[in-house]
Amino acid sequence: MKTHNMIRRACQLVLAALVIIGVSVGLSACKSDDQMARDSVEAMLKAFKSPSEESMRPYMSNAKTTITRQIESYNIDVYEFLGHVFKHFDYEINNVKVEGDTATVEASFTNASLTDAFAAANTDYQSTDTATLAQIYQESGADGLEKKLMELLYKRLDEASDRTPTKATIKLTKEGGSWKVDDGSIQDFASSMYGSISLSGEEEPASQSQEPAPETQESASE
């Protein structure tokens, strides 16, 4: 799997794991439907705003095993990933509209651009001394090279100074006394939260989705 697509897929899986079990707030006779829909979205956004293993473990421990296994198969620590990707994340809920058992919540986000951070990290990776990459490959194989790329990505995300403003309309449905985010909203919602990244699963141009330097692997195997 190309590294760019691997990271995109990891983004999809992490968000899916949290949305599946994280956006559900029971109804209360003391609150209006508008407020409950707002609370449902706000509960998840707060979790993303300051992600840590302590704050996210209650959500992730209930996520589907198939999802968490896929994340782990990419050698990505989900809590480390969340901490870097949402280090600069902030949000504002602008408007809530409820019609019967459906609701829409309009929200604004700011975050470091994952797309820009990855492009910069990929350049950093391609600029890394060949001998260094060859040694990593010899010691740890392709997993080691992917880990190196992730380290460069995390560094770029942490040091990002620009913030990308985005907006999203989140659709919810009331089910069994709770408001839940509709599956159809997840992709656009995720893209906005990650600083506007394509999560469609389409192939990236070759220049943006290179496998860890083939010449490095050849050098390492000689």
Predicted confidence at residue 110, as pLDDT, reads: 93
> For the segment 104-152, what is each residue's pLDDT rounded down to a tens digit?
999 999 999 888 898 899 899 999 999 999 999 999 998 888 889 889 9
| 168 closest CA partner among 182, 154, 178 | 182
203: pLDDT strictly greater than 50: no
202: pLDDT strictly greater than 50: no
Please compute the mean of the pLDDT values over residues 171-180 and round it to a whole number. Answer: 84
Please compute the mean of the pLDDT values over residues 78-88 and round it to a whole number. Answer: 87
15: pLDDT strictly greater than 90: no
| Phi–psi pair at 12, nearest 5 degrees | -60, -45
Mean pLDDT lowest among 23-27, 81-85, 118-122: 23-27
Q: How many domains does the chain have?
A: 1
Q: What is the largest CA-CA distance in the chain?
A: 71
Q: Is 177 left (phi over 0), alpha (psi -120 to 50) or beta?
A: left
Predicted confidence at residue 107, as pLDDT, reads: 93
Predicted confidence at residue 63, as pLDDT, reads: 60
| 85: CB partners within 8 A, 6+ apart | 11, 114, 157, 194
Identify the domain containing residue 191 by its residue range.
Answer: 3-206+213-221
> For the segment 43-66, what is each residue's pLDDT rounded down to a tens digit?
878 878 877 777 676 666 656 566
